[in-house]
Structure 1
């Protein structure tokens, strides 16, 4: 198969990706917009999120588990020119290009995806829709120092296995797979390097997602396991084994990367607590004997032990007659008993 000449460049609105070397994974990324000093990950309160916070890990999702069905969807690859050349090289006379396309995509994509995970972050803690969609206004978000997070991931992974970039937003359309791919020979076999088409599927999203203001880490790690495509129906035994394997997506980071833990406005709510008393800025909450109360108590216990001076709460405030979302309180957890939480909430000085 004829090969495209390196370097190859994929130019998107917010970033340019350039493959200069034969190595599949060595990509130069030129970011065209300002990189935020802080990035944010939003969570609901769950066993999974508590384990991550306790163990200093971030969960990198498999491509097939993202909430946009077009994320990592290889129907964004126009395979026509590739299949034409493929048939020519192998002297294939079949007219069934659709079948060849499916075979080609499966052969190329499966080994690429089974070792990759994605961490999606937001450039602000003030994103109204993400608070509503991901936390139901009762969860929390963590503030991550961008530079420290990159260094923490690069300390445990080679730079060519960790790609950091902003998502670009536009009307989705196919790209010519053949134009952005590169073939090479290994042990007398020709393999296709598809890192640029792969990056296109994760770095370009439809305009409807623009509100997310998303930044991503695409990580290659042997701990990540292959997960079946959502439309592929598998039996209960295989599904159970897949669920057990998802733990491979948890990547440990330096705890100091987390600079704030920001509680949602409705974190302290009647599903979790009864308020026993309050005196000025001191609050005592009785913990309800249910799963909501247990999770909240366990979460606050983790915060007290590991993030004592980094706990904040966001709320709606009025600035110049406009409703804004800002960090309103600094929180100090002073005591946690078997059935109660005692804390101090002080209004931030800059409010």
Structure 2
């Protein structure tokens, strides 16, 4: 009898028709935050209003959503091999070849690794993760995800979730779930499950508690042929499975962005010249030494100055009085006004609106 549910800590992973459901008991955050490093991809995602639904190989922790979280304590039934692998081209019309593979793969020293790897590839080709933070005030998120040069977006959680569902088109919106932070990353025994849903949802939801400061939530999206970036896996002999072009891009209404906050080092002297006048700065983007950064800054700042309807903030560092002790340095953010005054020059005006970051 196969299991339909897996429990880990206070999370339950429950099989349903064509998917699984994660039960956790945590309220969804009122606001969600997305951190971006400065790149062609992040600027394009902001300007065009979409998120990239990552494959597990895209993630920055090799233990996060790792296929090695899957194992088997015993040989998996041949019927399961036939169900998962029978439609693969090399086995579709050659059952004898599949039996030969089964006999080899289920030996003790192989531990069904071919099956588990194939199971992982089939599942993750239809699976995308959009990582967001439930807390926008973590100091570590800025150096870790923006290198202090990128930006942070703020959304009302319920609005952006509804927008993702409304704009998904083909595919399935699975849900928004918190990451299950754990002291130990326990493997899950795939031999106990007839389908891949529960093991896959568990493996892509558990994460070391050392990452708990992120307060990460993940939108889960499913589409056919989303692609697998094998080249992002060390020593992989395979080229990328490209999938359907754009299938990992998930659109939302960009008017829902409530705030854009620049990183502390966004306006570096290597990229901008600055003319100061009281509470205003005229910033001109340098074309040299890096023309690619010139294009990125121009595209992002032109959009924010001319089309963006939300609030724009610049980080500031200020001391906070601590009564009898020395003041404490804290991050805050100051609202700014941004105006484009020429092709590559922008007027940045400070305001008196300063709030915690």
Q: Which moved more, 1:106-115 or 1:95-104?
A: 95-104
Deviation at 1:64, TM superposition (A): 1.3
Deviation at 1:69, TM superposition (A): 1.0
Matching residue of 1:16 = 12
Matching residue of 1:266 = 265
CA distance in 2, matches of 1:129, 1:15: 26
CA distance in 2, matches of 1:245, 1:93: 34
Matching residue of 2:88 = none
Q: Is the 8 A contact 1:154 1:162 kept in 2?
A: no
Tell me, yes or no, if structure 1 residue 108 matches structure 2 residue 113.
no
Tell me, yes or no, if structure 1 residue 230 matches structure 2 residue 233.
yes
Q: Is the 8 A contact 2:306 2:340 kept in 1?
A: no
> Which one of 122, 142, 151 corresponds to residue 153 of structure 2?
142
What are the equivalent positions in structure 2 for 1:271-310 lying under 5 Å apart?
A: 271-279=270-278, 281-290=279-288, 291=290, 292-310=293-311
Q: Is the 8 A contact 1:18 1:29 kept in 2?
A: yes
Matching residue of 2:211 = 209
Give structure 2 stretches of 5+ with no counterpart.
83-98, 323-327
Deviation at 1:204, TM superposition (A): 0.5
Change (3 A) 1:136 1:227: closer
Deviation at 1:48, TM superposition (A): 0.9
Deviation at 1:303, TM superposition (A): 0.9
Matching residue of 2:251 = 252
> Which one of 93, 96, 107 corresponds to residue 107 of structure 2?
96
Give structure 1 stretches of 5+ with no counterpart.
184-192
| Cα deviation digits, residues 263-284 of structure 1 (max 9, x gap) | 11222220211112322x2211
Partner SS for 1:99: coil
CA distance in 2, matches of 1:169, 1:195: 20
Tell me, yes or no, if structure 1 residue 64 matches structure 2 residue 65.
no
* TM-score, scaled relative to structure 2: 0.81
What are the equivalent positions in structure 2 for 1:157-168 lying under 5 Å apart?
A: 157=168, 161-168=173-180
CA RMSD in angstroms comes to 2.9
| Cα deviation digits, residues 301-329 of structure 1 (max 9, x gap) | 111223244211223233343322232x1
Change (3 A) 1:177 1:276: same
Matching residue of 2:46 = 53
CA distance in 1, matches of 2:173, 2:295: 39
Q: Is the 8 A contact 2:33 2:135 kept in 1?
A: yes
Deviation at 1:3, TM superposition (A): 3.0
Deviation at 1:59, TM superposition (A): 1.1
Total equivalences in the alignment: 326
Change (3 A) 1:111 1:88: closer
What are the equivalent positions in structure 2 for 1:117-196 lying under 5 Å apart?
A: 117-157=128-168, 161-170=173-182, 171-179=184-192, 181=193, 183=194, 193-196=195-198
CA distance in 2, matches of 1:233, 1:331: 47
Change (3 A) 1:102 1:246: farther
Deviation at 1:142, TM superposition (A): 0.6
* TM-score, scaled relative to structure 1: 0.82
Matching residue of 2:220 = 218
CA distance in 2, matches of 1:150, 1:89: 36
CA distance in 2, matches of 1:246, 1:44: 23
| Cα deviation digits, residues 22-59 of structure 1 (max 9, x gap) | x231x333332332111111112111111111111111
CA distance in 2, matches of 1:206, 1:293: 38
Partner SS for 2:135: coil
Partner SS for 2:346: strand
> Which one of 325, 343, 346 corresponds to residue 348 of structure 2?
343
Change (3 A) 1:285 1:60: same
Deviation at 1:234, TM superposition (A): 4.4
Q: Is the 8 A contact 1:284 1:343 kept in 2?
A: yes
CA distance in 1, matches of 2:226, 2:157: 23
Deviation at 1:105, TM superposition (A): 0.7
Partner SS for 1:3: coil
